[in-house]
Structure 1
């Protein structure tokens, strides 16, 4: 009898039996499914968040535009609330004749100079003020006069601009600028002007003493002041920060266009506000004014010394 035991019989695996050991691919499949599910979830959340942000941003932009439209509508209503100049007011603006202007100019002014060289010398000696476009008014380019005034005349011009602004602010309007068309003339300037301007005085003109200037009320000459835009904040807070500069830039451009249009649509209302400011200052003894008939200008001369003479 052999001492060697027979080898154990091989047991073939049952193909239908469930394996108790997981296959090595199962964890990978589960990870892939989890990652895919997470990506889908994040995408859904991101799309939803973007939709919320977009909806909020659009609502903010619409609210900003609606506020802009209300602002323009209120400005138009304010313009329409300014009464036009009455016949009595126009007559009041013509009460000071040319002789009165020349009398005051001779008393309060300097000169008259015959040439530009003489004018430059006098301007330096008497501390004339150079008048230039700023936030209060616009000085129109011209070769018929020098942009210089005596200190008192320059102060009266500033007073008109401030009083004009005050009148506009009273009815809720932003500041607008008027235009100055003529200032100090030499004798040569005045002589040359007589040939083409029917309003140029035949004798001495008050323009020759540095005390007088013309303010035009031509419909195309009013313009919004640089500070005419409403103060910030102007953009609705729902507009995202990265969009705010673009929205603000467009808003400012539209506001400027609206102000330009209002100045062009309501020049007679602006002229009325300016005329009443001039009447007030003439009543206070600051200046004298005549509303010229053949040229659309207010001819203004300072009526008393507002700044000590050097």
Structure 2
């Protein structure tokens, strides 16, 4: 029996509407998941702590704690992918949902096949990056002790130099560096000036993509396709809401990194095109 068969994929569904809950259950079961149903935010938080789901769906209008606050609390304990579902379709609601920690935001009523496509895209990211649904890596992974020896002037996106062999943990640390920002692809640890920064799975993947691209500009469409597991040069159309979601995720990422959009240290906006890393010799 394979590891996947022994440990089936788990999804937590936090939804108080029985009809929507049943629909979500059917979609996830058809995608090969074991589902855990919760009718309130507090029940959902308990389910996430117990079952460590890969994906969690989250309604906004819940009894007791609303979905925005539930998302914030989830992000304190889990890296589960959050798909926020709501009848609230205003751009401000979408921005608030993504800012609260959601990776996806779907407006009700949604088409089951659209949800299924989002689920499959998140699974591709899980397989590609090894993402799990445990506590945020930035808060729990060991901090390499020789980060200070890394040159902040290393080329953007360059691999981290090998550490002394005497420290096996540091010697096997794999990641990317830009100035005093470092990212570990294995533990999903992000450090700024040696201090851990907690990012959502989507924010981490966007930062990794920019570090890999270096000074090459990544368009919003390219970044959105990357999150869906679609090749960058594929003709797949990216919707305007998906592009706006990328803008919101990037704003959240910059805020957590302590980066300024007007005088960026790490990520700069190329107007009308997309984003790229700053030049190493750019004054800040």
TM-score normalized by structure 2? 0.29
More relative contact order, 1 or 2 (CA 8 Å, 6+ apart): 1
Instruction: Identify, as 1 or 2, the structure richer in helix.
Output: 1
TM-score normalized by structure 1? 0.27
